[in-house]
Amino acid sequence: MRQRVHVIGSAVVVAVAFACVVPLAGQTPTTHRDTAPASTAADARRTTPRTAWGHPDLQGLWNNSTPTPLERPADVANREFLTDEGWAARAREVATRAEQRPDDPDADLTLAYNQVWWDRGMPLRRTSLIIDPADGRLPPLTPEGRKRLAEREAAASSRGPADSWEDRPLPERCLVYHAVPPLPTGYNNNYLIAQTRDSVAIRYEMLAHTRIIPLDGRPHLGPAIPQWLGNSRGHWEGDTLVVETTDFNSKTHLRFFPVAYETLRVIERFTRTAEDRIDYRFTIDNPTMYTRPWTAELPFTKARGPIYEYACHEANYSLPNVLRGHRHAEAPAVLR
């Protein structure tokens, strides 16, 4: 299904025209680079693609696939960047990860699909997405953060993994997958960006969410109106789009790290540095959970289109089957 972007005033409407059978995986990204070519500020401003009204042009289809982990692994604990040999070894491992045991039927269950369905991208030269703290690791939790995490784990352990549909993950229930910030997954890592003078829209391929980011200085909605992806407001700082997001729904799915939604603030920075690249950086400021803010970065690279519709609920019988399977496993053996 091809997506067409129509700009009407300050609204951005993403329409989907049904044209083909939907594949299960996202499109193939271009190769990631970790650092943009060095240039002066004047050179960068002269070469940055721009809209008709003068803003840096972020529009188009972008991909942020990478298997580089959020936190720095223990085996490279003292390295900010991989060596050439280390990078090549990780690239080989990623390229063959789903084909290492092709004759083992259990491997297919564990690894889900063979290699053709994955959109993992290439490892970055950096050993982690986190760049601050300098050790590439999440900062320590606060005492309140540890308390909340323990309470959440205790609540989860008091129930089975599928006592109800509400025990299943939000992506499995077709509610939300990505939150803010958008972090790469195994597939569907494409983002369609459109702009007007006073707004930016980011269409997520995964579960087809669209963020509308006003640039006109209006205030945040406030905690009385929480949203799945939070409430975003943006402005330009030079050639960088800065987006602040607050007012998250307490049920929003955020991968990798625990949160206190009422104090979570995410600051994102989008900088177009080349024809085929946006440098993306985000800072998590959550004083209830972490002893200090932390920052990560990764590139968005140009992707070939079109972007495809993500269908989830249509003919989705997997969730009832998950619940049915757990009820079967709980039944006395004589009834099986």
Report the range of poorest mean pLDDT among 6-15, 217-226, 233-242: 6-15
Contact 1, 22 (CB under 8 A): yes
Distance CA 187, CA 29 (A): 10
**Confidence label for 316 from pLDDT (cuts 50, 70 and 90):** confident
Distance CA 61, CA 188 (A): 12
Tell me the per-residue pLDDT of 56-92, one tens digit each, with 9 for 90 and over.
Answer: 999 999 999 999 999 999 999 999 999 999 999 999 8
pLDDT of residue 250: 82
Mean pLDDT, rounded, for 293-322: 87
Does residue 3 register a pLDDT over 70?
no
Joined tokens for residue 141: 């939790």
* pLDDT, greater one: 186 or 292: 292
**Confidence label for 109 from pLDDT (cuts 50, 70 and 90):** low
In the block, residue with structure tokens 């995964």: 206
Q: The dihedral of CA 240, 246, 249, 250: what is its sign? A: positive
Kindly tell me the burial class for residue 163, based on how many C-beta atoms sit within 10 Å of its own C-beta (0-12, 13-18, 19 or more). middle
pLDDT of residue 157: 83
Neighbours of 60 (CB within 10 A): 19
Nearest to 3 by CA among 234, 180, 210: 210
Average pLDDT across the chain, whole number? 81
Report the range of poorest mean pLDDT among 102-106, 157-161, 279-283: 102-106
Torsions phi, psi of 94, nearest 5?
-65, -40
3-state secondary structure of 203: strand
Tell me the per-residue pLDDT of 227-277, one tens digit each, with 9 for 90 and over.
Answer: 988 999 999 999 999 999 999 988 776 655 567 888 999 999 999 999 999
Does residue 18 register a pLDDT over 70?
no
Contact 26, 188 (CB under 8 A): yes
Say which DSSP state 76 is in.
G
pLDDT of residue 159: 85
